[in-house]
Structure 1
Amino acid sequence: MTQNKVVFGSEEWFSFPELGIPTIKARVDSGAKTSALHAINITPFLKDGANWVKFDINPIQNNLKTVLHCEAPLVDKRIVKSSSGFREQRYVIQTTLDIGDDRWPIEMTLTNRDSMGFRMLLGREAMSGRVLVDPEQIYMLGQSTTDSLKEIYKDAEKAATGLRIGVLASNPELYSNKRIMEAGEMRGHEMHFLNIKECYMKLDATKPEIHYRGGKKLNDLDAIIPRIRPSITFYGCALTRQFEALKVYCLNSSTAITQSRDKLFSLQLLLNHGVEIPTTGFANSPLDTDDLIKMVGGPPLIVKLLEGTQGKGVVIAETKKAAESVINAFKSLNANILVQEFIKEANGKDIRCFVIDGKVVAAIQREALPGEFRANIHLGGTASIIKPTSEEKRIAIKAAKAMDLKVAGVDIIRSSKGPLLLEVNSSPGLEGIEGATNKDIAGEMIKAIEKNFKLNKNRN
């Protein structure tokens, strides 16, 4: 019997009068068993001796400024496995769904869906016996427009005004920079892209200033996210220091970025903090070439330019003769180099752990192209999701802390001696890791800034 069933498209607008939600867009997904509702600040409490839960919701997608405060009877706590395989314990509520002329009670789990495409997902348990789904259609029972949403939610509470955040970088079209700008705007902040080459500063003991093209002063920013290319490290770090002098919070400090760009100094720092690295040599005289090669275990070995980045300036020398030629060629150019043992068993793979505020928020395994010895997605390598071991996480967190970096891409290689650290990147790219893991890494960076301001506010 189908005549008594309501037909839904793959997307519909629902209301939940008992929660005070006048309208919300949902993904209708018969492949999902459980329905889920976006919720933040979830807190269980007792009401008249019964278990309830209160929570906040941003009912409009890509809008964190509009906030509703909701509460509902708590019916269960349940382990739910997401589509990406992540297992999470969630609170379960029961409330009334209202659409068109129909209404019925449903159960929903509460979870943060900021990174998902919809604020709500309607699963098959809530549709059983009542609904038919036509996946080729959407909004079968009406659609809310941007203007109607503004009218509907005009009396809803507005979240506190966000921060003024600058992205200090070179290319506004770069994926990472665009994502950070989008993530900040989604979370209600005022975002400004600041081209490093168009910033200039006034050094003054009492009134230091930073100006932007056209003479605009940048003294009223709350925070800066430095994304400095290696080729402009000196000037980019000078600007970051000037922002620090103006008491603007910098997600990565100028000191941390500067030392991360000095491969030799950074390796010395890491070793001083007990982080294991491949055996590495450094020398300045061509006369020491033979002993330098022996020092790292002989060929094959890796030769790196100190100023290299993204796999550039890195060469593998298969034989002693090749190693001598490469080392002496670099030295004849007065280039600073490191010589490092080659970890054959890594088989062209390494692990990139993305560390934010002392936590590994995502990790990928990068694999080199056939014939290449070092994984690099910028040069055509591949990236896949991986679960790092507890030891690899420990190394990544320890490395970021040793370098005093709030945001770091930590590269680790698996060897017969255990995990070894290759290098730490202070401006890690987001495209590869977000694409492979489907995680909102840019949003995590913005959250780290929010956390800093919340902690400082609490201290005051």
Structure 2
Amino acid sequence: MSDNKIIIGSEEWVSLPELKIPAIKVRVDSGAKTSALHAVNIQPFQRNNETWVSFDVYPLQNNGKHMIHCEAYVIDKRVIKSSTGNRENRYIIRSSFAVGDVSWDIEVSLTNRDSMGYRMLFGREAMKGRMLVDPDHSFMLGNLSNDELEQKYKAPVKKSNGLKIGLLASNPDLYSNRRIIEAGESMGHEIEFYNLRQCYIKLDAQSPEIHYRGGKLLNELDAVIPRIRPSMTYYGCALTRQFESMNIFCLNKATAISNSRDKLYSLQLLLQQGVEIPTTGFANSPLDTNDLIKMVGGSPLIIKLLEGTQGKGVVLAETKKAAESVINAFKSLNANILVQEFIKEANGKDIRCFVIDGKVVAAMQRTAPPGEFRANVHLGGVASLVKVTSEEKRIAVKATKAMGLHVAGVDIIRSSKGPLLLEVNSSPGLEGIESATDKDIAALMIRSIEKHLNWKGISE
């Protein structure tokens, strides 16, 4: 002590008792005004009309085993300049800080310090009037061995009879993703959202790994629900394959997702299984435009971008001239397209069958808004309850099996020739069909995982 002040080195082990962080190595930096804590998944929320924030802390560098979920009252939000010169708007919280035998409250900013060497920066405001810094020394208040650290982080063993499930997707706020998490938790399982962009893999014959941001290991999951947006199909399928290779059950397999995303290949697979589809053409040369139009029965006709989804990249050409213009425009962009007969008698309606494990568990009719030919609810279509025929159920189940999917949304259109299959979706949305049918589809998806893993628990 000097003048009753604690002398500390350039790095020290401290604890944050209110956040339940028993030990974290800090970089002591008197050049920084505010202390900063490494935090990820930072989410503000309201509690008693006050702003709070939830966040996850991985307190040990290069160690993804220990994660602490924290909640704290937000005292401020400030623009803070980092050591690299970047300005960032950060949440500021107040937390107890313990070092040696003493503790006091300090202000801490929350930020992702994943690229930094220390999980916490200890700034001058927190040490003012209490500490002196000896920059020539480290751990003047005591160092911790790896064994001591493991002992501090040794949590009491929690008996849980639930499964560990990961939801692999892009947006945690989507209705479908929120519903799946709610259903999993209500059925006694531990279910976490993982942004697939933040996952990365280690390919190794002896110890393959999947990591999440901050270094968290995902190897211990029992199951994964892949809900991959079209723009992330390649990377999402690569991650799903890695989970599969590590014997972690995936509700839809990578190969099946990939099959369903390739519009042309998926139609070829369906035809091989004897599933009827609208007459469809595919070509690569603008010279074939006239014959291509004739092949599908002439205009009006539908022109689809192979990479399109949710009704995007789909055009209705009402005349031959319009069809030629659209086809040639797409060709000039080197875009792969399908040309498909237009089923006029469907009158802007189609049917979405939701299939789980070879059974149609729910079905709805989608009706296009006025002036629109696409019935997709994302484009303003209206969903309503519908009674599907045994033939339509048979087609939906057969199509799902042809893709190799456990869970699928199968789109069918009613024509004068009978039901025709339009598309098979490997990440079907839940909002429209749950609203129209009043069925808990999310719970049925969790039930499927339980069945495949032979899990017997308390949920009914």
If the length of structure 1 is used for normalisation, what is the TM-score? 0.64
Greater CA radius of gyration, 1 or 2? 2
Aligned partner of 1:57 in structure 2 is: none
Asked if 1:347 corresponds to 2:347, the answer is yes
Aligned partner of 1:220 in structure 2 is: 220
How far does residue 409 in structure 1 lie from its aligned partner after superposition?
0.2
How is 1:331-370 mapped onto 2 (pairs within 5 angstroms)? 331-370=331-370
> What is the CA–CA distance in structure 2 between the aligned matches of 1:216 and 1:246, rounded to whole Å?
16
Which aligned segments of 4 or more residues in structure 1 are displaced greater than 2 angstroms?
Answer: none
3-state SS of paired residue (1:265): helix
Aligned partner of 1:282 in structure 2 is: 282
> What is the CA–CA distance in structure 2 between the aligned matches of 1:409 and 1:402, rounded to whole Å?
13
1:307-327 Cα distance to aligned partner (Å, 9 max, x none): 000000000001110000000
How many residues were matched structurally?
300
How far does residue 160 in structure 1 lie from its aligned partner after superposition?
6.7
3-state SS of paired residue (2:277): coil
1:213-253 Cα distance to aligned partner (Å, 9 max, x none): 11111100000000000011010000000101111000000
3-state SS of paired residue (1:165): strand
How far does residue 346 in structure 1 lie from its aligned partner after superposition?
0.1
1:288-339 Cα distance to aligned partner (Å, 9 max, x none): 0000000000000000000000000000001110000000000111100000
How is 1:315-394 mapped onto 2 (pairs within 5 angstroms)? 315-394=315-394
Mark the runs of 5 or more structure 2 residues left unpaired by the alignment: 1-157
> What is the CA–CA distance in structure 1 between the aligned matches of 2:392 and 2:159, rounded to whole Å?
38
Aligned partner of 1:270 in structure 2 is: 270
> What is the CA–CA distance in structure 2 between the aligned matches of 1:393 and 1:316, rounded to whole Å?
28
> What is the CA–CA distance in structure 2 between the aligned matches of 1:424 and 1:381, rounded to whole Å?
18
> What is the CA–CA distance in structure 2 between the aligned matches of 1:418 and 1:160, rounded to whole Å?
50
How far does residue 159 in structure 1 lie from its aligned partner after superposition?
11
Aligned partner of 2:25 in structure 1 is: none
> What is the CA–CA distance in structure 2 between the aligned matches of 1:343 and 1:430, rounded to whole Å?
26
> What is the CA–CA distance in structure 1 between the aligned matches of 2:262 and 2:317, rounded to whole Å?
23
How far does residue 406 in structure 1 lie from its aligned partner after superposition?
0.3
3-state SS of paired residue (1:173): coil
How far does residue 205 in structure 1 lie from its aligned partner after superposition?
1.5
How far does residue 282 in structure 1 lie from its aligned partner after superposition?
0.1
> What is the CA–CA distance in structure 2 between the aligned matches of 1:225 and 1:219, rounded to whole Å?
15
Aligned partner of 1:171 in structure 2 is: 171
> What is the CA–CA distance in structure 2 between the aligned matches of 1:256 and 1:173, rounded to whole Å?
26
> What is the CA–CA distance in structure 2 between the aligned matches of 1:164 and 1:261, rounded to whole Å?
28
Aligned partner of 1:67 in structure 2 is: none
Aligned partner of 1:300 in structure 2 is: 300
1:175-221 Cα distance to aligned partner (Å, 9 max, x none): 00000000000110000101001100111122111000111111000
Aligned partner of 1:232 in structure 2 is: 232
If the length of structure 2 is used for normalisation, what is the TM-score? 0.64
> What is the CA–CA distance in structure 2 between the aligned matches of 1:159 and 1:282, rounded to whole Å?
56
Aligned partner of 2:396 in structure 1 is: 396
> What is the CA–CA distance in structure 2 between the aligned matches of 1:344 and 1:176, rounded to whole Å?
32
> What is the CA–CA distance in structure 1 between the aligned matches of 2:360 and 2:165, rounded to whole Å?
23
Kept after mapping to 1: 8 A contact 2:450/2:456: no
Mark the runs of 5 or more structure 1 residues left unpaired by the alignment: 1-157
> What is the CA–CA distance in structure 1 between the aligned matches of 2:280 and 2:313, rounded to whole Å?
16
> What is the CA–CA distance in structure 2 between the aligned matches of 1:252 and 1:376, rounded to whole Å?
23
3-state SS of paired residue (1:339): strand
> What is the CA–CA distance in structure 2 between the aligned matches of 1:379 and 1:321, rounded to whole Å?
26
Asked if 1:244 corresponds to 2:264, the answer is no
> What is the CA–CA distance in structure 1 between the aligned matches of 2:221 and 2:160, rounded to whole Å?
17
Identity among equivalent positions (%) equals 79
Give the letter aligned to residue 435 of structure 1: S
Give the letter aligned to residue 219 of structure 1: N
3-state SS of paired residue (2:371): coil
How far does residue 455 in structure 1 lie from its aligned partner after superposition?
8.0
> What is the CA–CA distance in structure 1 between the aligned matches of 2:199 and 2:454, rounded to whole Å?
29
Q: 1:215 to 1:314 in 2, by over 3 A?
A: same
> What is the CA–CA distance in structure 1 between the aligned matches of 2:258 and 2:205, rounded to whole Å?
24
How far does residue 444 in structure 1 lie from its aligned partner after superposition?
0.3
Q: 1:455 to 1:221 in 2, by over 3 A?
A: closer
CA RMSD after TM alignment: 1.6
